[in-house]
Amino acid sequence: MLKILMVAAELAPFAKEGGLADAVGSLTKALSLRGHGIRAVIPLYGRIDRGAWRLRPAGPPLPVPMGRLGHLACTVFEGRLPGTGVPVSFVDYDPFYGRRGIYQEDGEGYPDNGERFVLLSRAALEIVRRDGWRPDIVHVHDWHTAAVPVLLNTLYRDDGTLSAAASVLTLHNLLQQGVFDKGLMEILGVGWEHFQLRGLEFFDRVNLLKGGIYHATRINTVSPTYAREILQPEFAYGIEGVIRDRASDLLGILNGADYGEWDPETDRFIAAAYSAADLRGKALCKKDLQGFLGLPEDPAVPLAGVVSRLVRQKGIDLVADALPRILDLGVQVALVGSGEPWAHTFFEGLARERPDRFACRIGYDEALAHRIIAGADFFLMPSRFEPCGLTQMYAMRYGTLPIVRATGGLRDTVENYDDGTLSGTGFTFDDATADALLDTIRRALRIWGSRPEAVAGLIRRAMAKRFTWEAAARRYEDLYGEAIERSPEGQGR
Ligand code: ADP
Ligand code: GLC
């Protein structure tokens, strides 16, 4: 049994922008079910309802040292991760977190995000210190908490509570690295000697993720293929050299899917339950979705779904480019998502022009996400890069065949249909182009329209696939074990 401190900017169900929240929440739960002593720390964002989650202040205000800002007095609220006994500490510092967004508002990132997440990183360590709770592992995620390994190796190196802790940094996405003016060094307080090539310095600015990658005991990505891809400039956004420096400590551990939330047999959001043995409910879900979105209710028309952040990473521009031609193939498309303003304008405009074939809802809508994933025949995800991706796993569980670009976790989870061996769980393609997407949709439609047994086999295999958090948690246990061997009490970080 290990003592694990999880620190992250997002944790479902309290605070979620994307898959990061799901991944941190599900992993925490899986580790706790396996008997580990685990605690989590996140900020108390303005959108988190203290009453609904029954959060209670724990102890007097905690003064968190923030370099030239002095000590910031944070209140720590305590709650439990639903469905588990895991204690979650919420760092309350209203001037930083009492806002509408997690990272941004109206498309603009908060200018003080550096300070906001350094505070989270520092506060997490101060909380366990105050409690005298000695973690074996401090597990952090993405740039927001990447300062933690740096702090552990410097200011907390000789700390009674934290000196023995090993750190693991999980890379969920390398696009955002937390790059700020170098003045942030004076707040981080670790000393300018760490503002260096093999440390926090990046083109004369602070790069928190880079610092974390150098300082963490072990690092990992959320799929094996992404672990290989980020050795290349095209995937690493300027820090490929950093990744290569630590390549021998880099592992890919595939995320799981939360089948407690995503199961067509028990899903509370969908019109009718169904299973692989009896797919009649899926036909009802399709009819329900078509009706709800105002599309013609025709079971014979193929329906493709998109549930996504509307950003370049997800290949949303490729979807936009191909969409008029996709509709001309006689396909209906249902989309829910939010992201870049051009995408909102484009998709809403097209929905007005082609209401017979295309429907979209701009925004975040969990119920509709479930209804699309259940009701569609195909699920489109032509990502340019995809560290893991969760929605394609959900789609498979619902017998909704994924049409994906073979990159990152998509490559590791979706097996391309092979006509010769009648194997596969979806359709994959290589080129990040609208034409490649379109060709693959054509290929899928040919089979869909003429080969019912082949389609039934695809659906059966897709629905039988399981990507469990239990399996992922076991792999993290191994990684923690290796990190502990290397930690200061082993051979020094
Ligand atoms: P990423 O984290 O890169 O956005 P993932 O596939 O890992 O991609 O996770 C996305 C998560 O966010 C999934 O749980 C998905 O259902 C959810 N999601 C994305 N967009 C929306 C939306 N517009 N409405 C509801 N849920 C959404
Ligand atoms: C990031 C990635 C996504 C991954 C998620 C959870 O948001 O973009 O691919 O599934 O993190 O690890």
Residue 337 CB–ligand 1 contact under 6 Å? yes
pLDDT in tens, 156-181: 999 999 999 999 999 999 999 999 99
Ligand 2 mean position, distance from CA 19 (Å): 5
Atom of ligand 2 nearest to the CA of 409: 9
Compute the distance between CA of residue 199 and CA of residue 215 in angstroms, rounded to an integer: 8
The predicted pLDDT at position 491 comes to 41
Amino acid at 366: E
Residue 192 has pLDDT above 50, yes or no: yes
The ligand whose atoms approach the alpha carbon of 337 most closely is 1
d(CA 160, CA 128): 11
Q: How far apart are the first and last CA of the chain?
A: 22
pLDDT at res. 393: 98
| Average pLDDT for 409-423 | 96
- Provide the pLDDT for residue 489: 55
Share of the chain above pLDDT 70, in %: 99
Cα–Cα distance measured from residue 208 to residue 142, given in angstroms and rounded to the nearest whole number: 9
In short, whether 307's Cβ falls inside 6 Å of ligand 1 is yes
Assess whether pLDDT exceeds 70 at residue 485: yes
Better-scored residue on pLDDT, 98 or 486: 98
Distance CA 99, CA 456 (A): 48
d(CA 415, CA 396): 11
Residue 57 pLDDT > 80, yes or no? yes
Please tell me the predicted confidence (pLDDT) of residue 490. Answer: 46
Span 100-143, pLDDT tens digits: 999 999 878 999 999 999 999 999 999 999 999 999 999 999 99
Across residues 7-13, what is the average pLDDT? 98
Q: Is the CB of 142 under 6 A from ligand 1?
A: no
CA angle 216, 18, 239 (to 5 degrees): 40
> What average pLDDT does the chain have?
97
Ligand 1 and 22: CB distance under 6 A: yes
Report the percentage of the chain scoring pLDDT > 90. 98
CB 221 less than 6 A from any atom of ligand 2: no
What confidence tens digit (pLDDT) does each residue in 286-313 have? 999 999 999 999 999 999 999 999 999 9
pLDDT band, residue 487 (cuts 50/70/90): confident
Answer whether 338 contacts ligand 1 (Cβ < 6 A): yes
Residue type, 123: A
- pLDDT for residue 455 is more than 90: yes
Q: Is the pLDDT reported for residue 492 higher than 80?
A: no
Task: Write the pLDDT tens digit of every residue in 228-261.
Answer: 999 999 999 999 999 999 999 999 999 999 999 9
The reply to whether ligand 2 has any atom less than 6 angstroms from the CB of 285 is no
Cα separation, 39 vs 138, in Å, equals 10
pLDDT in tens, 323-379: 999 999 999 999 999 999 999 999 999 999 999 999 999 999 999 999 999 999 999
Structure tokens at 64: 């968190």
**pLDDT, average across residues 417-429:** 96
Q: Is the CB of 114 under 6 A from ligand 1?
A: no
Structure confidence at residue 106 (pLDDT) = 82
Q: Which-ligand-closest: CA of 386?
A: 2
Query: What local confidence, expressed as pLDDT, does residue 488 receive?
Result: 62
Q: 431 near 461, Cβ under 8 Å?
A: no
Pocket probe for ligand 2: among 144, 255, 313, 392, the residue whose CB has the most ligand atoms within 8 Å is 255
